[in-house]
Amino acid sequence: MTVDLQAHRGRGGDEVEDLLMQIKGLVFVRAILEQRGASPPELDAQRLETERLRSRLARVVADRCNGFDAAA
């Protein structure tokens, strides 16, 4: 089943977009931190926050997909 997330922006689609943007930003920041020789705890903090947001994104998308199943 294909889910059109853009069609549901009014019902939380903005949250998906926001989470994706935050994750992308963290990935870019991590690369910069690595280039500048950031300490392992700093890099670990970036990694943990990225994982947290990825988990949140997965829950939001799964919840939305479950809503489509219920409506079908």
Q: Count the neighbouring beta carbons within 10 Å of the beta carbon of residue 53.
A: 18
* CA distances from residue 25 to 12, 21, 34, 46, 64 in whole angstroms, order as listed: 20, 6, 14, 10, 24
pLDDT at residue 55, rounded to an integer: 97
Angle at 66 between CA 61 and CA 67, to 5 degrees: 95
pLDDT at residue 70, rounded to an integer: 57
pLDDT at residue 66, rounded to an integer: 83
Low-confidence ranges of the chain (pLDDT < 70): 1-12, 68-72
Give 3's contacts (C-beta < 8 A, 6+ positions apart): 61, 64, 65, 68
pLDDT at residue 64, rounded to an integer: 86
pTM exceeding the 0.85 threshold for the entire prediction = no
Please tell me the distance from the alpha carbon of residue 27 to that of residue 44, in angstroms, as a whole number: 12
